[in-house]
Amino acid sequence: AAEGYTDAETVPLVVAPDGSVSELFGTADWDGAVLLHDVEIVDGRELLLFSLQVGWQNPDSALETLYVVDLGSGERTEVGIVGEWEAGTSRLHLATTGLIAGRAQAGARSSALFLAVPGSPAASQPVPTPGDLGLPEYETECRCPIGFTVAPDGTTFAWFEQYEPEQFELVVRTIDGDEQRSRVDGSVSAAVADDIDLGTASMTINHTATGDPVMPPVIFTSGGAGSTVFLDGLVATMPPGTAPAAPAPPVIAVSAPEGVALHDEAGEPFETIDEIMSIALPLADGRIVGQRETGVSGGQWSAPDTTPFMWNPDGTTYPLFPDPGDTQAFTELHDVATVDGRTWMLYSTNDDNQNPEQYAEHLYAYELGGIGSHLELGQIAGWEGGTSRLHLATNGLIVGEAYAEAVHGMLVMAVPGSPAAAFVEELRPGRLGLERSYFDCTDCPRRFTTSTDGSLLAWLDGDEIVRVPLGPDGTPGEPTREAAPVGADGFPADLDLGGDGTTYVVSYWSPLFDPVDPPANPILVDADGQATALIGLSATVG
């Protein structure tokens, strides 16, 4: 109303995929001006978070009340009063737990604001306070934190903090106290950025604090100096963070010189992507984590060429790491999986050091979204050593093959704090009927892997695939064997299992082993044992 709009002009609209527009609810149902804040799925209900301003022309009657409305049933629930004369909030953000976060301001004072949807999981426990995040109330004339927000998981928060005049940091902090700070470069003007919208792999930042946007919105990926991608328009929002109710069917991504082809679990292609990737890892929401080149090149490409990036279904891409140029280590992308609600990208790095005493390859897990944590999992190779592609399961289990010169064997690790971390030390080769290592052979156990859900270990042995089921506590069951398409040379580059391990692909090309000529197309084997050749270089199961 202060901007001269009528209440009727603030009625929320629904825009359908066919372009048709309808009012979400009529003006007769509301007395006042509507401000939309967020949409999220909480306990299976799609909730719209909005506030209603009434009496805004009169200091004695001005009032702003926060509500949620169930978009399925139309049921409206009052959350509480969030504004009055010369007092209000920034845009508020809703998490899947029902937790609400934003910034409240009243006169000269401002602070983080936390609320909960009545009856939601967040309402059943104490709602966080600013003090829980180390944040007191602030006077207006101060270097005040701004842009408070919450991630979809309800446990991660973000805001801007000024550390020097006109110099800002993005702070991302979990409720447990883990914190990451990223310096904000000139492409993000934190001085006028009043909204941060955390997603599952990045965030959007909007610059509307002065009324008219002074800068376009950006997608920002935290970590180090951060990285930004400018977006056309005024305001950008992230989609709801709720995972699909049912698991998506496997998607097989086949990398080829001209791009990436996506296939269904029967091997039928359904989409072609004109983006060169040496490895493509599909996510359940349709995005793809990719890499144009992989690992140390021997002079064929530079380290920045190995920077992992995110491909969006609209064709846009952005780097998952900032590009520090020549100082960057060579990166090898391995796998992506969601472990206990957190999506991790598994990758390793080395700096192409030609000194045998200094050369080392280290394994990391990088969280896509949330706090953007980097976990160092340890050194996995030294001089004249390395690994095959490593595989990450949803229980945190990591399985692959490690080699040093002519000796190779199974490598088993786990993401710290994951379910698999409780039993990974018990998965010794001897318990699985394996030797600790094998010397200079192609018909012995090799290309060790795990199913997506971590319920199965598998490897190739001669011309067979061996599967060993694992109990929830990691106890191995009886192994099974069946014929596998191992190829004429008997030495495939990768074995990738989907879901529970009934569907798998065998790739014969790897940029690490065969940088020029692929010996054969990858093979998809479905749950019935039917083998289908996939046209391309290498394939992964998402």
280 and 152 co-located in one domain: no
Q: What is the pTM of this model?
A: 0.63
Confidence (pLDDT) at 70: 87
Q: Residue 125: which residues within 8 A CB-CB, separation 6 or more?
A: none
Cα 534 to Cα 60: distance, rounded to the nearest angstrom: 71
Confidence (pLDDT) at 173: 86
DSSP single-letter state for residue 250? P
68 and 198 co-located in one domain: yes
Within-domain flag for 245: no
Mean pLDDT of all residues in 444-452: 92
Confidence (pLDDT) at 227: 58
**Do the Cβ atoms of 97 and 120 come closer than 8 Å?**
yes
**Do the Cβ atoms of 348 and 387 come closer than 8 Å?**
yes
Cα 461 to Cα 444: distance, rounded to the nearest angstrom: 5
Cα 246 to Cα 393: distance, rounded to the nearest angstrom: 18
Higher pLDDT, 225 or 261: 261
Q: What is the DSSP string of 154-215?
A: SSEEEEEEEEETTEEEEEEEETTS-EEEEE--TTS-GGG--EEEE-SS-EEEE--TTSS-SS
At 371 the three-state DSSP class reads coil
Confidence (pLDDT) at 300: 74
Within-domain flag for 102: yes
215 and 257 co-located in one domain: no
Confidence of residue 465 (pLDDT cuts 50, 70, 90): very high
Nearest 5°: CA angle at 518, between 515 and 519? 130
Within-domain flag for 208: yes
At 433 the three-state DSSP class reads coil
CATH code, domain with 53: 2.115.10
Q: Residue 85: which residues within 8 A CB-CB, separation 6 or more?
A: 59, 60, 62
333 and 397 co-located in one domain: yes
At 357 the three-state DSSP class reads coil
Confidence of residue 143 (pLDDT cuts 50, 70, 90): low
Higher pLDDT, 203 or 136: 203
78 and 113 co-located in one domain: yes
- Decide if pLDDT at 186 tops 60: no
Within-domain flag for 1: no
The boundaries of the domain holding residue 152 are 7-230
- Decide if pLDDT at 133 tops 50: yes
First vs last C-alpha separation in the chain: 49
Q: Please name which of 488, 530, 487, 538 lies closest in space to residue 513, comparing C-alpha atoms.
A: 538
Pairing of strands 227-230, 531-533: unpaired
User: How long is the chain?
Assistant: 542
86 and 175 co-located in one domain: yes
Confidence of residue 449 (pLDDT cuts 50, 70, 90): very high
For residue 21, the Cα-to-chain-centroid distance in whole angstroms is: 32
Cα 211 to Cα 456: distance, rounded to the nearest angstrom: 56
Q: Residue 355: which residues within 8 A CB-CB, separation 6 or more?
A: none
Mean pLDDT of all residues in 215-234: 66
Mean pLDDT of all residues in 389-416: 93
Q: Residue 128: which residues within 8 A CB-CB, separation 6 or more?
A: 99, 114, 157, 175
Count of structural domains, the chain: 2
**Do the Cβ atoms of 229 and 219 come closer than 8 Å?**
yes
Taking the CA atoms of residue 54, residue 105, residue 150 and residue 171 in that order, the dihedral angle to the nearest 10 degrees is 160
What tens digit of pLDDT does each residue of 146-166 get? 778 888 888 888 888 776 666
Mean pLDDT of all residues in 345-367: 82
Within-domain flag for 316: yes
197 and 332 co-located in one domain: no
Within-domain flag for 204: yes
Confidence of residue 67 (pLDDT cuts 50, 70, 90): very high
CATH code, domain with 367: 2.120.10
Within-domain flag for 444: yes
220 and 312 co-located in one domain: no
Identify the domain boundary among 230, 262, 292. 230
What type of residue sits at position 349? T
Provide, rounded to the nearest whole percent, the portion of the chain with pLDDT above 70: 81
278 and 179 co-located in one domain: no
Q: What is the DSSP string of 14-37?
A: EE-TTS-EEESS-GGG-SSEEEEE
Confidence (pLDDT) at 18: 82
216 and 353 co-located in one domain: no
- Decide if pLDDT at 243 tops 50: no
- The Cβ-side half-sphere exposure at 533, using a 13 Å CA radius, reads 6
Identify the domain boundary among 199, 230, 261. 230
- Decide if pLDDT at 448 tops 80: yes
Within-domain flag for 271: yes
For residue 199, report the phi and psi dihedrals to the nearest 5 degrees. -115, -160
Mean pLDDT of all residues in 129-135: 83
What tens digit of pLDDT does each residue of 492-524 get? 889 999 877 888 999 887 655 554 555 688 999
What tens digit of pLDDT does each residue of 473-499 get? 899 999 999 988 866 555 688 999 987
- Decide if pLDDT at 470 tops 90: yes
Sign of CA dihedral 532, 535, 537, 542: negative
Confidence of residue 325 (pLDDT cuts 50, 70, 90): very low
Buried b (16+ CB within 10 A) or exposed e, 183-207: ebeeebbbbebbbbbbbbbbbbbbb
92 and 190 co-located in one domain: yes
What tens digit of pLDDT does each residue of 521-541 get? 899 998 888 889 898 888 999
How much is the mean pLDDT over the chain? Answer: 81
Nearest 5°: CA angle at 535, between 315 and 271? 30
Mean pLDDT of all residues in 39-52: 90
Confidence of residue 116 (pLDDT cuts 50, 70, 90): very high
265 and 226 co-located in one domain: no
